[in-house]
Amino acid sequence: MSAMPPALRRALARLLEIVPVLLAVMTITFVMARVMPGGPFDGERQLSPEAKAKNNAYYGLDKPLYKQYAIYVGNFLRGDLGPVYRHPDWTVNELLAQRAPVSAELGIWASLVAIVVGLVAGVVASARPRSMTDYGTMGVAMVAICLPSFVLGPILLLAFGLKMQWVNVMGWNTAGDRVLPAVVLGLYYAAYIARLTRGSMLETRTQDFVRTARAKGCPPWRVQFVHTLRNALGPVLAYLAPTIAGLVTGSFVVEQIFQIPGIGRLFVEAALNGETPLLLGVTMLFSVILLALNWAADVLITLLNPKAANE
């Protein structure tokens, strides 16, 4: 173990940390979902006590909580996320397989908007600090941070969907249907990335290795993009991991506004209907993506800055 490179040792240690975190998330979510008032069979159509008891016995909901949890963990380890109570013909695996690609595609487009717009804006603002370009770019970023998606979404829908009729008001059928949701979902994170990039670039520019590169006659573009930007990406990469996880797994608000059949709407429906297996399935999927991206970001930061492996 002592001969193992520090970077690899750090990556393996971070990977092993994922297991107890997932177990904790599963346990807390399971207990909270089970102790919430109401149940999957307490909907508008009232069932008789006999029918409700029969359903509870069929799905094992009449067992003690610890037995229900043990059964769920065993099924989870086999890859079985459980049934959908209100739709007996479907399983949680099938619903997630159907809805997750929609949210993933939305998240990918939104991530591209956030990364490209945020990095470009941050680099442009840091190139001329305390200038009108800097103040204007950061001012727009602050407005984007303060403007929530449930306000920005209807505004863009009204302007580009109803008034100009450039895009459809709702749906997920054509390429144009991806534009507004991706912009609404990505702009908020682009603003944060822009501010992080600007601050990190300005801080890195004062380091000795940057001054040395200038003194050796390196071209300004190489100093800006090779020496400064590469070493300034640490905070941005650390922020990108949870950001991309949230974007890829979908936004509840954006999917509701644009009527997108993604995992965000599925999570809301599961919470309202008391669908514990579905709620757990969505939560665990989100947790796995979040932890995997955090791990990947940590590995990438270590590769960019080998000193981080010894921290």
Indicate the range of 34-48, 61-75, 183-197 predicted with least confidence. Answer: 34-48
pLDDT at 226: 65
Mean pLDDT of 133-161: 88
Q: Tell me how far apart the alpha carbons of residues 281 and 274 are, in angstroms, rounded to a whole number.
A: 13
In a domain, 264, yes or no: yes
Residues 21-41, mean pLDDT to the nearest whole number: 82
With respect to residue 266, please indicate whether it lies within any of the assigned structural domains: yes
- Residue 56 falls inside a structural domain: no
Q: What is the pLDDT of residue 1?
A: 44
Q: Domain holding 270: CATH number?
A: 1.10.3720.10
Total tally of structural domains belonging to the chain: 1
Is residue 117 scored above 90 in pLDDT?
A: yes
What pTM value is reported for the model? 0.74
In a domain, 85, yes or no: no
Q: What is the pLDDT of residue 24?
A: 92
Percent of the chain with pLDDT over 70: 87
The half-sphere exposure of 186 on its side-chain side, counting CA atoms within 13 A, is 22
pLDDT at 239 over 90: no
Task: For residues 256-285, give the mean pLDDT.
Answer: 84
Query: Which range of residues forms the domain containing residue 96?
Result: 92-310
pLDDT value at residue 306 = 62
Domain assignment of residue 223, yes or no: yes
201-226 per-position pLDDT tens digit: 888 777 777 677 767 677 766 666 66
* Inside any domain, residue 174: yes
Within a domain: residue 146? yes
- Tell me what pLDDT residue 6 has: 72
Residue 229 belongs to a domain: yes
